[in-house]
Amino acid sequence: MNKPDNVLQVGSNEMELVDFRIYKQEGTEVYEGIYGVNVAKVREIINIPKLTELPGSPEYVDGIFDLRGVVIPVVNLAKWMGIITPDCKTIRPRVIITEFNNILIGFIVHEAKRIRRINWKDIEPASFSAKSGGAFDKTKITGVTKIENDDVLLILDLEAIVEELGLFSADTEALDKLEKYSGLALILDDSQTARKIVKEGMTKMGFTVVEAKDGEDGLSKLEELAGQYGEELKSKLRIIVSDVEMPRMDGFHFASRVKADERFKTIPLIFNSSISDDFSDLRGAQAGGEAYLVKFDANKFHDEISRVLKAHLG
């Protein structure tokens, strides 16, 4: 059966995101900031509900509310980014309800515009002082891409908010008491924080870690390792752990390239992503991954790596 044209193909290196806006007041000028969040992380978009204040929470948390029996914290993105919002009656804020890292959280935005399909190769890492109506902290974004009229769309690091709130933490100490391994492990993640957590976990398991920032960097690191070890690479490089959402080349496209290369295709590959929807694990399997994990349960992380390695060794 032919798939509809509007369905994202595994390994296509494309993503769909919700385009939303945050307006900023600077003097008498109002600037429109253009941002995006992966559709795979969005559950729904709603009007702002009645919120209950959460004592002791950060200033950027406007409160909590009950969504069909689940209590959800609501983050005001403008406050989190330190943006002064204009007093404009035409702004009709909405709440984007997201689910990632197996956590539900709402984000207040000033306008939800549309869904965009973008190729990851057109998304550049946040390696500069981006401007969207004034100076912006690049540590709060994971990627940037140009859209129509030469405007720039920023992809926010929403995982950083979850970590700041203490809703997500990785107990890698649990790995100290578990089975140890040896050899090399290649890890890919565009988030420096996530990469640090995964590296710590893999090191505690006994691996020597090679890091990459995205799929293109991952392929480059594989080429370097192949040049260094030649035919011995298959026994030296024990496993690859890859994020899914990454600028330039996403994890699924990276995996499809790896599995199509005779030198690398037998090396076990595990996806480790914040996306916790019902489909990404299936897409990961289609791309050639041996497992799909949601960041970051230390015990499950160890167990899945152990399972994959034992299955690989027969």
Asked if the structure places residue 156 within a domain, the reply is: yes
Buried b (16+ CB within 10 A) or exposed e, 228-245: eeeeebeeebbbbbbbbb
- Summarize pLDDT for 215-249 with one digit per residue, the tens: 999 999 999 999 999 999 999 999 999 999 999 99
On whether both 230 and 275 belong to a single domain, the answer is: yes
**Band of pLDDT at residue 312, cut at 50, 70 and 90:** confident
| Per-residue pLDDT at 175 exceeds 80 | no
On whether both 32 and 159 belong to a single domain, the answer is: yes
| Per-residue pLDDT at 55 exceeds 50 | yes
| Per-residue pLDDT at 132 exceeds 60 | no
Q: Which of 65-79, 114-128, 173-187, 268-282 has the highest mean pLDDT?
A: 65-79
What is the pLDDT, as a whole number, of residue 139? 61
| Per-residue pLDDT at 89 exceeds 80 | no
- Which one of 164, 198, 220 terminates a domain? 164
- Domain residues for the domain of 82 are 14-164
- Of residues 8 and 66, more confidence is placed in 66
What is the pLDDT, as a whole number, of residue 236? 96
Residue 102 CB-density burial (10 A; 0-12 exposed, 13-18 middle, 19+ buried)? exposed
| Per-residue pLDDT at 30 exceeds 60 | yes
Count up the domains in the chain and report the number: 2
- Which one of 146, 164, 182 terminates a domain? 164
Closest of 292, 211, 216 to residue 247, by C-alpha:
216
